Amino acid sequence: MTIHTPLNEDNARPAGAGANDAASNDHVASYKADLSINFAGIRSPNPFWLASAPPTDKAYNVVRAFEAGWGGVVWKTLGEDPAAVNVSSRYSAHYGPNGEVSGFNNIELITDRSLEINLREITQVKKDWPDRALIVSLMVPCEEEAWKTILPQVEATGCDGIELNFGCPHGMPERGMGAAVGQVPEYVEKVTRWCKTYSSLPVIVKLTPNITDVRLPAQAALRGGADAVSLINTINSITHLDLDRMVAHPVVGGRSTHGGYCGSAVKPIALNMVSEIARTPETANLPISGIGGISNWEDAAEFIALGAGSVQVCTAAMLHGFRIVEEMKDGLGRWMDSKGYQKIDDFTRAAIPNTTDWKHLDMNYQVIARIDQDKCIGCGRCYIACEDTSHQAIMHLAKDNGTARYEVKDADCVGCNLCEITCPVDNCITMEEQDTGKPYMNWMEDPRNPHRAA
């Protein structure tokens, strides 16, 4: 296969240049913020990396991605030869009301190309694109010998780091690899240590979300010497069925199996897991590469504010192509300018101090729903939601012209946000903070708490 050389000069920057992506765009009024990062010693002109998956399967894709402006890639997971073999019909999706994809499911395995070809391509791409981050994802059996063999070969490519794929939820666990390893903290620790022993590269441990407490494998990775963790890998899933054939999608010859779920639907789960690791004192300084449903700059900013030092994207690129990164960079840069953030670090972990346990929340804080009658279009959604399922705090009143008017009964509103969420009009229902005149008091201090320490 021929390796495509970069098409435009802007992208064909020599090593060292392009430390800041904004600078390369000086012919267009753009953002001033510096998007470059140094993640666990890995430099990248911007925090947007392609996650290990089909977009990073081979040189052809990765070169196109770099041309499009991605800061780095995690190469599609390599394994021992013979390479894995995939089935036909591999993806399915969970759709939103307009037919847009909200969640994406796959039953693919790790790379289905030989180790030799992959390593050759990685070497060439890294040589051609020295300023971009190139991380190699690995999954080999949980035996020291296997790691000892593959690590030097990977290091010889000149890549910037390795990512350990402990999170593949399908196909691989049955072979003693992937999620199965990721679910046992001792294995995570052991494999990480082998990697640190047989390689000098930064080691990123990719965590599976198919586990009760994601902090445990993160701590194990840290004990094993990991330089960073990345999360989340995909979540075990069945998206939907063909009810005529009584089989789940994707269908493989009349049968199906669970797959791995990703895309914007998993973002809330991933965000929580990232924040859990970031706010646990033991792992607070462990760099995190945030992954899961990142589709635009805002998603990325949220991951970074909850502790991520870089972000990885798979589904958004698979749905829209590599050009989506331009929108992500532009949006993030402009937003940073508007907030006065000059570099990514300026807001990394910024939301962590405000992310806490329920028991630390202020029991005296009170909001009440307020309906802006000028904006209200009279759909009645807030009313029926509160009436049927919340606190019967909205009144349904008849207007002179026969249409309805909706008003909040302040005394009954508990400030649950349900009406605000169901209202279709932007800023029509707002939750207004009430001055209760009472000081901060958490549950541990609350006299209503039967277990309160006296």
Ligand X SMILES: Cc1cc2nc3c(=O)[nH]c(=O)nc-3n(C[C@H](O)[C@H](O)[C@H](O)COP(=O)(O)O)c2cc1C
Active site residues: 168
Pick from 2, 5, 8, 98 the residue near another protein by CB under 8 A: 98
Based on CB atoms, which residue is closest to ligand X, 18 or 71? Answer: 71
Q: What are the C-alpha distances in Å from 277 to residues 223, 353, 354? A: 14, 13, 15
Q: Give dist(CA 300, CA 294) in Å, integer.
A: 6
Which residue pairs from 351-357 have beta carbons closer than 8 angstroms and sit at least 24 positions apart in sequence?
Answer: 351/275, 351/302, 351/305, 351/306, 352/275, 352/278, 352/279, 352/305, 352/306, 352/307, 355/275, 355/279, 355/306, 356/279
Pick from 362, 378, 396, 397 the residue near ligand SF4 by CB under 6 A: 378
Q: Taking the chain, what is the end-to-end CA distance rounded to the nearest angstrom?
A: 73
Residue 122 is a binding residue for ligand SF4 (CB under 6 A): no
Q: For residue 33, report the phi and psi dihedrals to the nearest 5 degrees.
A: -55, 150
369 binds, among ligand X, ligand SF4, another protein, none (CB under 5 to 8 A by kind): ligand SF4
β-pairing, 91-95 vs 367-371, is unpaired
Residues in 289-348 at the binding interface with another protein, rule: CB under 8 A? none
CB atoms within 10 A of CB 373: 11
Residue 439 is a binding residue for another protein (CB under 8 A): no
Residue 310 is a binding residue for ligand X (CB under 6 A): no
Pattern 358-377, binding to ligand SF4, x per CB under 6 A? -----------x-x----xx
What is the 3-class SS of 69-103, one letter each residue?
CCCEEEEEEECCCCCCCCCCCCEEEEECCCCCEEE
62 binds, among ligand SF4, ligand X, another protein, none (CB under 5 to 8 A by kind): none
Of 105, 314, 81, residue with least CA distance to 206: 314
Pick from 146, 205, 305, 313 the residue near ligand X by CB under 6 A: 313
Residue 318 is a binding residue for ligand SF4 (CB under 6 A): no
Based on CB atoms, which residue is closest to ligand X, 169 or 224? Answer: 169
- Who contacts 351 (Cβ-Cβ below 8 Å, separation ≥6)? 275, 302, 305, 306
Pattern 152-191, binding to ligand X, x per CB under 6 A? -------------x--x-----------------------
List, as one string, the DSSP characters of 391-439.
---EEEEE-TTS-EEEEE-GGG-----HHHHH--STTTEEEEEP---PP
Tell me, what DSSP letter sits at residue 284?
T
What is the total count of residues that contact ligand SF4 (CB under 6 A)?
28
CB atoms within 10 A of CB 136: 28
Residues in 408-437 at the binding interface with ligand SF4, rule: CB under 6 A? 408, 413-419, 423, 425, 428-429
Based on CB atoms, which residue is closest to ligand SF4, 41 or 378? Answer: 378
402 binds, among ligand SF4, ligand X, another protein, none (CB under 5 to 8 A by kind): another protein
Based on CB atoms, which residue is closest to another protein, 83 or 385? Answer: 385
Residue 76 is a binding residue for ligand X (CB under 6 A): yes
Pick from 240, 245, 396, 438 the residue near another protein by CB under 8 A: 396
Pattern 55-94, binding to another protein, x per CB under 8 A? ----------------------------------------
Q: Rounded to the nearest 10 degrees, how much is the dihedral formed by the CA atoms of 271, 276, 281, 287? A: -40
DSSP-based three-state secondary structure for 203: strand
State the residues that interact with another protein by CB under 8 A: 97-99, 375, 377-381, 383-384, 396, 402-404, 424-426
State the residues that interact with ligand SF4 by CB under 6 A: 369, 371, 376-382, 385-386, 390-391, 393-394, 406, 408, 413-419, 423, 425, 428-429
